[in-house]
């Protein structure tokens, strides 16, 4: 069975700083997808970034980038120039290529401080 582990329950950083959220996963699959979702106080789930396991190049979306280490089964999220609006719960998620289900980690609550 697949598992997703986020070892940082909560983090706080000053506005404009860079922060990295950790995520590790366990799977025997060779092809899969990884996601980071953001859940702000409104509780609306928002896709931040996605990574396809067969792509070695790390995905980037503006201020958000990932460090994907397939051999280590690690998928960290880096937020550069953090903004107050980045305050949210962040979930790392895994999906097998041949499946529809997304498996979520327990989440990291991120506070951006003014």
Partner 1 sequence: GAVVSQHPSRVICKSGTSVKIECRSLDFQATTMFWYRQFPKQSLMLMATSNEGSKATYEQGVEKDKFLINHASLTLSTLTVTSAHPEDSSFYICSASRIIPRAYYGYTFGSGTRLTVV
Q: Alpha-carbon torsion 108, 23, 14, 37, what sign?
A: negative
Stretch that binds partner 1, among 17-25, 45-53, 60-68, 69-77 (CB under 8 A): 45-53
For position 97 contacting partner 1 by CB under 8 A, the verdict is yes
Q: C-alpha 25: how far from its chain's center?
A: 11
Residue from the set 23, 88, 95, 110 that interacts with partner 1 by CB under 8 A: 95
List C-alpha distances in Å: 38 to 18, 27, 35, 54: 17, 23, 10, 24
Nearer to partner 1, 16 or 46 (CB): 46
For position 100 contacting partner 1 by CB under 8 A, the verdict is yes
Nearer to partner 1, 11 or 103 (CB): 103
Phi first, then psi: what are they for 84, rounded to 5°?
Answer: -55, -35
The Cα–Cα gap between 67 and 88 comes to 20
For position 106 contacting partner 1 by CB under 8 A, the verdict is yes
Residue from the set 30, 44, 56, 57 that interacts with partner 1 by CB under 8 A: 44
């Amino acid at each position: 069975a697949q598992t997703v582990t986020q070892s940082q329950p909560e983090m706080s950083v000053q506005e404009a700083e860079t922060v990295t959220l950790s995520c590790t996963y366990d799977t025997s699959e060779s092809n899969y997808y990884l996601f980071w979702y953001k859940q702000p106080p409104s509780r609306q789930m928002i896709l931040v970034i996605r990574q396809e396991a067969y792509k070695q190049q790390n995905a980037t979306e503006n201020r958000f980038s990932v460090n994907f280490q397939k051999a280590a089964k690690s998928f960290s999220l880096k937020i550069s120039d953090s903004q107050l609006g980045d305050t949210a719960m962040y979930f790392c998620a895994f999906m097998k290529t041949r499946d529809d289900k997304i498996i979520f980690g327990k989440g990291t609550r991120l506070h951006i401080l003014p």
